[in-house]
A = this chain, B = another copy of it.
Amino acid sequence: MGQAAGKAPGMTAEMADEVEGGAATLSEQAYRLMRRDIVDGLLAPNQPLRFEFLKDRYGFSFSPLREALAQLQSERLVVATAQRGYRVADVSLDEMWDAINTRVLIETQALREAIVHGDDDWEGAIVSAYHALSRSRARHAGTATDEAAMEEVERRHRVFHRSLIGACRSRWLLDLSALLYTQTERYRRPLLAKMRADISRDREIDDHHKEIMDATLIRDAATATDLLAAHLRRTGNYIERIQG
């Protein structure tokens, strides 16, 4: 069972489900679990990652854990210090904005290229992803306490964003997009419950998604990329406001 599909930096746990049934090594499993927990804030920024603690938490012995940490290190989700182990990489508003702005740079370029190359299937995937997301959001509107519902919305949210750039032919742009998505999720996901409880904002988000989609489908690259950039930055502003 190859890992080529599973090894793009920043690949989400959802996308990894396709190979979950395959023979993922223990280190691969550890990598995914830890990455998820870092992104969700369950492993806190700057938290030391002691091996006995990780062994208790995840049930893996040290070697797979170390391999997973080596990968997470290269993705800047953990920081290694020789002889003194690993800790979760810190977060900050500066880092958040750096990640957002870099993500804007990458994803607007990926969107531009998708708009150039996209075909009917690509358009269909966008429409379908938007539809699923929108319905899911509406069905669970204001439901800020149902974990499974929120996970479903998040999964569809991810699929929607990914579908926009689905026709981009640059492997590097797609990989970096996924990497930066993960980084920015570290700021957004811990605030999910609060954001989802904000009904008017939730409605706004849906509108923004639709505007991005519409501009994309009529192949208006300038408008689509502007809307995407604004959407990403608006989330940053919201997070900044909440964090104080």
Contact = CB atoms under 8 A, between A and B. Distances in A.
Interface of A: 1-4, 7, 9, 22-25, 27-28, 63, 66-68, 70-71, 73-76, 79-83, 95, 98-99, 101-102, 105-106, 109, 170-173, 175-176, 180, 183
Given A25-B83, A66-B67, A67-B66, A102 B172 contact: yes
B7 A73 contact: yes
A82 B25 CA distance: 6
A67 B69 CA distance: 9
For the complex formed by this chain, how many copies does it contain in all? 2
Query: Interface SS of chain A: helix, strand, loop or mixed?
Result: helix
Nearest to A101: B170
B71 A171 contact: no
Contacts of A67: 66-67, 70
A63 B27 CA distance: 12
13 contacts: A1-B81, A4-B79, A7-B79, A25-B83, A63-B63, A63-B66, A67-B67, A70-B74, A98-B171, A99-B172, A102-B170, A102-B173, A105-B173
